[in-house]
Amino acid sequence: MSSFFHNWPQVTEQWLGTALGQDLIAAETELLAAVLDDVFGLELLQLGRWGGSRELLSTSRTRRQTIVSEHATGGAVDVLGRLAALPVQRDSVDAVLLPHTLEFESDPQAVVREADRVLTGEGQLIILGFRPWSLWGLRSAAARDGFPPGLRQILPESRLRDWLALLGYEVVLSRHYLYNRPWQGRTRAGQRRILRRGLFNVLPAGAYMIKARKHIYTLTPIRPRLRERRKLLGGLVEPTTRNRT
C-alpha cells in the first residue's frame, strides 16, 4: 500500500485521462467558471494538480494563477513545495482553490490552515470534494486503493464546514454535483449529467463544492455607559462629608 501511495500521482493522472475522468474535469471546469466569476485580485493559488493542464483556472479573473504541487509528474506545475508548508508569504493571496486536494493528503486539516495563512482578509477559499454517502463514496470505500485511484480519505462536507467556522470563514456558496455512476463511460449527456440531476435520476450527488470567504474581526473597545462614567468620575472627585464646611 505504501508503494502505491508513493506513486499515486501517476496512477491518478492515468485515471483522469479516461473517458470518465475527462468528463469529470470538463464538468468541474464549467462549474468553476461560474464560481470564479466574482473572484478578483492579483493572485489565485491552486494547491495540488487535478487534470492534465490548467483547465480549472482557464476562466479565472485574477491577474496571476499559480499551481503548487509536491509532485512534478506531467501537467503544469509552477511551484514545487509541501502543501502543508507553502513557500508563500502570509496574507498575500486573494483566492485558493483546493480541487480534491484534501482527499490525497495525510493531514488535510494542516493544508486548510496553511491556505488560511496565505489568504488575505476577505480572501476566498474554494474546495471540491467527494461525498462519502454516494455511489462514488461507497466505491472509494470498497476499493483497496481508493477511487479515483490514490484517494486516502473522503471528507464529509459537514467536517469542512466545521473547520472553516473555527477559522472564521463564512460559506457564501455551496453546490452538489456528480450525478452519474462511478463506472459510467462517456455518454451523450456528457458533463451535463455530472452537473445536473435530471428528471428521472434518483442518485445522490457524488461531490460538493464549497466557496467560503475569510473574515477579519477587529476588537472594538467597550466603553462604559454615560451614567456609569458619571458615577465613576463623581466617585473619584466628590468630597466626603468630613471635608465639607
Residue 128 included in any domain? yes
Cell numbers at 187, concatenated = 455518454
Say which residue the cell 454535483 belongs to: 177
Confidence at residue 232, expressed as pLDDT on a 0 to 100 scale: 46
Residue 29 included in any domain? yes
What b/e string do you get for 201-224 counting C-beta neighbours within 10 Å, with b at 16 or more?
eeeebbbbbbbbbbeeeeeeeeee
Confidence at residue 71, expressed as pLDDT on a 0 to 100 scale: 82
Residue 22 included in any domain? yes
DSSP letters, 164-179, are: HHHTTEEEEEEEEE--
Mean pLDDT computed over every residue of the chain: 85
Confidence at residue 185, expressed as pLDDT on a 0 to 100 scale: 61
Higher pLDDT, 232 or 230: 230
Q: At residue 150, what are phi and psi to the nearest 5 degrees?
A: 110, -15
8-39 pLDDT per residue, tens: 678 888 899 898 999 999 999 999 999 999 99
- Percentage of residues in the chain having pLDDT higher than 90: 60
66-84 pLDDT per residue, tens: 999 998 766 688 999 999 9
Residue 20 included in any domain? yes
**Domain hosting residue 188, numbered range:** 2-219
Residue 245 included in any domain? no
CA–CA gap between residue 41 and residue 241 (Å, rounded): 67
Confidence at residue 186, expressed as pLDDT on a 0 to 100 scale: 59
The domain that holds 122 is classified in CATH as: 3.40.50.150
What's the length of the chain? 245
Residue 239 included in any domain? no
CA–CA gap between residue 123 and residue 213 (Å, rounded): 6
Residue 234, pLDDT above cutoff 90: no
Confidence at residue 126, expressed as pLDDT on a 0 to 100 scale: 98
98-157 pLDDT per residue, tens: 999 999 999 999 999 999 999 999 999 999 999 999 999 999 999 888 899 989 999 999
Structural domain tally of the chain?
1
83-99 pLDDT per residue, tens: 999 999 999 999 999 99
- Listed residue (98, 64, 70, 104) closest to 169, CA to CA: 98
- Listed residue (22, 25, 13) closest to 177, CA to CA: 25
Confidence at residue 183, expressed as pLDDT on a 0 to 100 scale: 82
Residue 77 included in any domain? yes
Confidence at residue 125, expressed as pLDDT on a 0 to 100 scale: 98
Residue 225 included in any domain? no
193-204 pLDDT per residue, tens: 688 776 666 788
- Average pLDDT on 220-228 reads 59
